[in-house]
Amino acid sequence: MNIKEILTGQKMDKLFLMGNEAAVRGALEAGVAVASTYPGTPSSEIGDVLSVLAQEAGMYFEFSINEKVALEVAAAAAASGLRSFTFMKHVGVNVASDSLMSVAYTSVRGGMVILTADDPSMFSSQNEQDNRHYARLANIPLLEASNPQEVKDLMKYAYELSEEFQIPVILRTTTRVSHMRGIVELGPLAEIRKKGHFDKDPKRFVPVPATARIMHKNLVEKMNKLMVLSNNSSLNQVFDHEGRIGIITSGSAFNYVMDVVEENELPVNVLKLTFTYPFPEKKVLEFLEEMDRVLVVEEVDPIMEKEILAIIGKHGLKKRVYGKLDGTLPMIYEFNPDIVLEGFGRMMDVQLPDKGTFQTPVGIPNRPPTLCPGCPHRAAYFEVKRAAANLGIDDVIFPTDIGCYTLGIESPYEVADYLLSMGSSIGTSCGFSKATDQTVVSFIGDSTFFHAGIPPLINAVHNKNRFVLVILDNRTTAMTGGQPHSGLPRDGMGLEAPEISIPEIVKACGVKFMETINPLNVKKSQEIFEKALQFNEVAVVISQYPCMLIKGRDVKGKNVIIQVQDDKCTNCDTCVMELTCPAIYTQDDGKIRIDPLMCRKCNVCVQTCPEKAIRAKRVDEVGEEE
Amino acid sequence: MYHYNIYISGVGGQGIIKTSVIIGESAMKEDLPVVVGEIHGMSQRGGVVSTQMKLGESYSPLIEEGKANLLLAFEPLEALRAINMINPDSYVVMNTAPIYPFNIRQSEHPYPELSIIMDELKSRAKKVIAMDAEEMAKKAGHILSLNMVMLGGAVAVPGFPLDKKIIIKSMEDNLPEKSIPINMKAFEEGFSFCSAHIK
The dihedral built from the CA positions of residue A96, A102, A108 and A113, taken in this order, carries a sign that is positive
Amino acid B47: pLDDT = 87
pLDDT reported for residue A624: 46
Dihedral (Cα; A145, A147, A153, A159), 10-degree rounding:
30
Would you say the pTM of this structure is higher than 0.90? yes
Residue A117 is which amino acid? A
pLDDT of residue A319: 95
Domain A376-551: CATH architecture, name and number where available = 3-Layer(aba) Sandwich (3.40)
A407 DSSP 8-state letter? G
User: For residue A620, what pLDDT is reported?
Assistant: 77
Please, are residues B66 and B60 in contact by the beta-carbon 8 Å criterion?
no
Segment 86-105 of chain A within 8 Å of chain B by CB = none
Contact state of A255 with B60 under an 8 Å Cβ cutoff:
yes
In Å, how far is B192's CA from the nearest CA of chain A? Answer: 27
d(C-alpha A147, C-alpha A130), whole Å: 18
CATH topology of domain A237-348: Rossmann fold (3.40.50)
Enter the DSSP assignment of A455: H
For chain A, counts of helices (H) and of strands (E): 23, 23
**Percent of residues in chain A assigned helix, strand, coil, to nearest 5:** 40, 20, 40
Q: What is the CATH number of domain B4-131+155-167?
A: 3.40.920.10
The arithmetic mean of pLDDT across residues A203-211, rounded, is 97
Inter-chain CB proximity B34 and A183 less than 8 Å: yes
**Which site among A16, A249, A377 would you substitute to test the B interface, given the most B Cβ atoms closer than 10 Å to its Cβ?**
A16
How sure is the predictor about A355, in pLDDT bands with cuts at 50, 70 and 90?
confident
A356 pLDDT band, cuts 50/70/90, is confident
Q: Do B20 and A181 touch (CB under 8 A)?
A: yes
A587 touches chain B (CB under 8 A): no
Cα–Cα distance measured from residue A40 to residue A95, given in angstroms and rounded to the nearest whole number: 12
Q: How close B82 comes to chain A (CA, Å)?
A: 11
Identify the closest residue of chain A to B171 by CA–CA distance. Answer: A1
The residue of A41, A254, A367, A402 whose CB has the most chain B CBs within 10 angstroms, and thus the best one to mutate to test that interface, is: A367
Nearest Cα to A581, choosing from A365, A374, A367, A368?
Answer: A374
Count Cβ atoms below 10 Å from residue B137 Cβ, excluding itself.
Answer: 27
Q: Provide the pairing of β-strand A293-297 with A320-322.
A: parallel
- On the question of pLDDT at A626 being above 50, the answer is no
Q: What is the pLDDT of residue A551?
A: 62
Contact B34 A254 (CB under 8 A): no
Mean pLDDT of B100-124: 92
pLDDT of residue A553: 61
Which stretches of A316-463 are DSSP H helices? 337-348, 376-390, 424-435, 446-448, 454-462
Is the pLDDT reported for residue A608 higher than 90? Answer: yes
Q: How far is B87 from chain A (nearest CA, A)?
A: 10
| Three-state secondary structure readout of chain B | CCCEEEEEEEECCCCHHHHHHHHHHHHHHCCCCEEEEECCCHHHCCCEEEEEEEECCCCCCCCCCCCCCEEEECCHHHHHHCHHHCCCCCEEEEECCCCCCCCHHHCCCCCCCHHHHHHHHHHHCCEEEEECHHHHHHHHCCHHHHHHHHHHHHHCCCCCCCCHHHHHHHHHHHCCHHHHHHHHHHHHHHHHHHHHHHC
Q: Nearest C-alpha of chain A: how many angstroms from B158?
A: 23
| Whether the predicted pLDDT of A625 surpasses 60 | no
- Tell me, what's the pLDDT at A594? 95
Contacts of A255 (CB under 8 A, 6+ apart): A146, A147, A176, B59, B60, B62
Give dist(CA A78, CA A73) in Å, integer: 9
Strands B34-38 and A180-185: antiparallel
Residue spans of the domains in chain A: they are: 5-195+203-230, 237-348, 376-551, 560-622
Please judge whether B35 and A147 are an interchain contact, meaning their C-beta atoms are less than 8 angstroms apart.
yes
Which of B25, B59, B177 has the highest number of chain A CBs within 10 A, making it the mutation to test binding with A? B59
Calculate how close chain B gets to A510, using CA atoms only, in Å.
35
Give the C-alpha separation, A88 to A91, whole Å. Answer: 8
Q: So what's the pLDDT on residue A391? A: 98
Task: Evaluate whether A236 touches A211 at the Cβ level (below 8 Å).
Answer: no
Contact B60 A370 (CB under 8 A): no
Interval A74-122: pLDDT, tens: 999 999 999 999 999 999 999 999 999 999 999 999 999 999 999 999 9
pLDDT digits 0-9 by tens, B131-155 = 999 999 999 999 999 999 999 999 9
Region A5-195+203-230: CATH code: 3.40.50.970
Q: B44 to chain A: which residues are within 8 Å by CB?
A: 369, 481
Does B77 contact A362 at a Cβ distance shorter than 8 Å? no
A355: CB partners within 8 A, 6+ apart: A338, B65, B66
- Given an 8 Å threshold on Cβ–Cβ distance, is A368 in contact with B107? no
Among candidates A175, A369, A597 on the partner chain, residue whose Cβ is nearest the Cβ of B45: A369
Q: Over 80: is that where the pLDDT of B6 sits?
A: yes
Query: Among residues of chain B, what percentage have pLDDT more than 90?
Result: 87
- Give the model's pLDDT for residue B79: 98
3-state SS string for A173-232: EEHHHHCEEEEEECCCCCCCCCCCCCCCCHHHHCCCHHHHHHHHHHHHHHHHHHHHHHHH
Whole-angstrom CA distances from A124 to A180, A407, B16 are: 16, 12, 19
Establish, for the pair of chains A and B, how many residue pairs have beta carbons separated by less than 8 Å.
174
- Judged by CB atoms closer than 8 Å, whether chains meet at B34 and A404 is answered as no
Residues of B in contact with A582 (CB under 8 A): 46, 102
The band of B39, judged by pLDDT with boundaries at 50, 70 and 90, is confident
Cis peptide before A42 (omega within 30 of 0): yes
* SS3 (DSSP) at A108: coil
Residue B41 confidence (pLDDT): 59
A5-195+203-230 and A560-622 share one CATH topology? Answer: no
A356/B66 touch (CB, cutoff 8 Å), yes or no: yes
Mean pLDDT, residues A556-583: 92
CA distance B77 to chain A (A): 7
- CATH level 3 topology of A560-622: Alpha-Beta Plaits (3.30.70)
Report yes or no: A362 and B116 within 8 Å, Cβ to Cβ.
yes
CB A527 within 8 A of CB A515: no
Report whether pLDDT(B44) > 70: no
Q: Residue B152 and residue B148: Cα distance in Å, rounded?
A: 6
Contact (CB<8Å) A365/B101: yes
So what's the pLDDT on residue A557?
75
Report the distance separating Cα A390 and Cα A387, nearest Å. Answer: 5
When CB atoms are compared, the residue of A183, A259, A365 closest to B109 is A365
Whole-angstrom distance, CA of residue B153 vs CA of residue B129: 8
Q: What is the mean pLDDT of chain A?
A: 95
Q: What is the pLDDT of residue A622?
A: 65
Name the residue among A179, A263, A372 with its Cβ closest to that of B45: A372
Cα A606 from Cα A597, distance rounded (Å) = 17
For the cut 70, the answer to whether the pLDDT of residue B49 exceeds it is yes
Residue A166 neighbours by CB under 8 Å, 6+ apart: A107, A108, A109, A222
Among residues 316-375 of chain A, which lie with CB inside 8 Å of chain B?
A: 336-338, 341, 355-358, 360-372
Residue B42: list chain A partners with CB under 8 A: 41, 123-124, 369, 479
pLDDT at A114: 98
Query: What is the C-alpha to C-alpha distance for residues B35 and B33, in angstroms, rounded to an integer?
Result: 7
pLDDT tens digits for range A211-244: 999 999 999 999 999 999 999 999 999 999 889 9
All residues of chain B having their beta carbon less than 8 Å from the beta carbon of residue A372 are 45-46
Region A510-520: mean pLDDT is 98
CA pair distance A309, A297, nearest whole angstrom: 14
Sign (positive/negative) of CA torsion A385, A388, A391, A395?
A: negative
